[in-house]
Chain A
Amino acid sequence: MKIGVPVLLLALLVYPFVLNDPFYHDIGVALLLAAISASAWNIVGGYAGQVSVGHGMFFGIGAYVPLLVYQHGAWPPVVGVPIGIVLSVLLAAAIGYPTFRLRGHYFSMATIAVAELIRIYVGTVDYLGAAIGLQGPAVGRGWWDLTFRGELPYYYIFLAVLAVLLYVTFEVQRSRFGSYLRSIRANERAAASLGVPVRQTKLKALMLSAAFTSVAGSLYSIKTGFIDPESGFGLLVSVQMLITAALGGAGTLFGPLVGALILVPLQAATNTWFGGSGSGLTYIIYGGIIVLLARFEPGGLYEFWHHISMRWRARHAA
């Protein structure tokens, strides 16, 4: 594992030069975006164990605001990124404050309900592009519009954001805050008895997670130059984050990245093999992964690896 991390990071760094083709660059960008989204979800869904099924709402806000400021103010889309973060954090506080008073699945239910409400509402408001959506600058007016012809600049911007996010998560993991998050995930009642301010800690995690998810949404819309309610706030956006993190290992630093490394190429392969008729396959793959994880390894591939290495060690120690 200790050697694996630098190797993985080095591989991500040189990937566009090894597979120097627009098709592979596109997959690389999609992979990094999935890893960023899932890693952001992981802070609250993984470490704190508060499973959000509506993180698309933060992704959507982050995606919409840059194109809104461009469309209505002719500002560079990147100006919308911090505004998106602030709005997402405020929304996170508004959802978390009442639902974290309760234990159990109320938070999950609230997130799914609010995300769907926002998606439906956005589809009816002309100012927000209604069902058609919003567009960014077709041709960049300068570098600040972040409109590049090739995928390569996006790849490295996304990689830098992922690196920052993983560093923040790493620091969270080894801090008091991280320790509290994991204790809440393990046993909320016991955590509270040890002085953990449960509600406040969960709220902080949700707000931090929402901020990074919003950044992921902004990166997506700035790169594609287009956003509509389904690609911003759709249920599949939320589910994809959850599945990616859970597949690799929710509550682990590199689990979401590992999940993205498997899922994104898999999606690209099914799209290539089956073309447009294969789009429904995504749901089947997600469903299959949920069943397999629930049945065999709820801890994801990280736990699977942990069990195998433990057995290997035990066998060789004997």
Chain B
Amino acid sequence: MLLEAKGVSKAFGSFFAVRNADLTVAEGEIIGLIGPNGAGKSTFFNCLAGDTIPTTGTVSLNGADLTRASPDLHARAGIGRTFQVPATFEDMTVLENVVVGAYLRHHHRAEARKKALDVLEITGLSRFADQRARVLGTPGRKRLEIARVLALEPRLMLLDEALAGLTPGEVQRAVELLRRIHGMGITLVIVEHIMEVIMTLAQRVIVFNQGHVIAHGKPEEVVQDEGVIQAYLGRNHGKRRGKS
């Protein structure tokens, strides 16, 4: 297994945001994490990325324990993540943003710059290279976050609502980009509310509700699950999908 999270719980005082959650991700998979707002997806995500230390449970990558490791050690180990609210370095140029990530594997300036330029090409951001990140709109900033993570040359990419707030056309382009990234041999774990994206991309889906994993399995099985329909999708989900 590439990533293995066992019995992960996170408590804030007496409140458990995540309770006893398990996740195994094999190399080359695309996993979707879904659930209503406040279900604990982002907290669980933060536990996987090293941003939050779980109260109980373990997280390991390729058998190496990362449970209490800092976020930068997670990045070194091969886990890259994006943020729900884009966390681009606003006053740095688009290229400089990506260079920060590229420095992880390329210590020399020229090599890091070359890597960053390659990544900008892949993500379609080359023409913005010398502009400050703050001039980009939401789609551009989300794309820049993905570019920065790509520059880390990760084995596993954690995407936290990377497609939220995009227009249907932009979502389409972002899905194409994610497919391309997956084609590069990078495993993806995606937190997403847009079910079409999950149904299109994910090979397995994990559903969270009130801190618990309430269902997991293939996307087409999960959307039929009575618990998932009640907690998250609603009765009209199938009809909406049918219309679209």
Contact = CB atoms under 8 A, between A and B. Distances in A.
A198 B70 CA distance: 10
5 contacts: A190-B83, A193-B83, A194-B80, A194-B101, A195-B75
Contact of A193 (B81, B91, B109, B112): B81
A187 interface: yes
Interface stretch (A57-65, A70-78, A171-179, A228-236): A171-179
A182 B89 contact: yes
Contacts of A182: 89, 91-92, 96
Interface string A250-268: 0000000000000000000
B75 A193 contact: yes
A197 interface: yes
Q: Is the interface of A mostly helix, strand, loop or mixed?
A: helix
Q: Identify the 5 closest CB pairs spanning chains A and B, nearest first.
A: A186-B89, A195-B75, A190-B87, A195-B104, A192-B71
Interface residues of A, number: 20
Nearest to A198: B72
A180 interface: yes
Contacts of B107: 176
Given A179-B99, A179-B100, A196 B72 contact: yes
A163 B100 CA distance: 28
B88 A190 contact: yes
Contacts of B99: 179
A104 to B, nearest CB: 16
Contacts of B74: 193
Contact of B152 (A174, A194, A197, A198): A194
B100 A183 contact: yes
Contact of B72 (A175, A179, A192): A192
A195 B107 CA distance: 12
A299 B92 CA distance: 13
Interface of A: 174-176, 179-180, 182-183, 186-187, 189-198, 299
Nearest to A186: B89
B16 interface: no
Interface of B: 49, 51, 70-72, 74-76, 80-81, 83, 87-92, 96, 99-101, 103-104, 107, 109, 112, 148-149, 152
A180 B100 contact: yes
Contacts of A174: 109
B119 to A, nearest CB: 12
A186 B72 contact: no
B28 to A, nearest CB: 23
B99 to A, nearest CB: 6
A192 B87 contact: no
Contacts of B104: 194-195
B69 to A, nearest CB: 11
Contacts of A195: 72, 75-76, 101, 103-104, 152
Given A174-B109, A193-B81, A196-B100, 15 more contacts: A176-B109, A179-B96, A179-B103, A180-B100, A182-B91, A182-B96, A186-B91, A186-B92, A189-B87, A190-B83, A193-B49, A194-B100, A194-B101, A195-B103, A195-B152
Contacts of A179: 96, 99-100, 103
Q: Which of A176, A182, A192, A194 has the most CB of B within 10 A?
A: A194
A187 B148 CA distance: 14
A180 B103 contact: yes
Nearest to A201: B72
A80 B109 CA distance: 37
Given A176-B112, A192-B70, A193-B49, A187 B87 contact: yes
A175 B107 CA distance: 9
Contacts of B112: 176
A45 to B, nearest CB: 16
A111 B75 CA distance: 31
Given A175-B109, A195-B75, A195-B152, A190 B103 contact: no
Nearest to B70: A192
A195 B98 CA distance: 12
B90 A193 contact: no
Highest count of chain A CB atoms <10 Å: which of B91, B96, B100, B152? B100
A187 B96 CA distance: 14
Contacts of A190: 83, 87-89
Nearest to B101: A194
Nearest to A194: B101
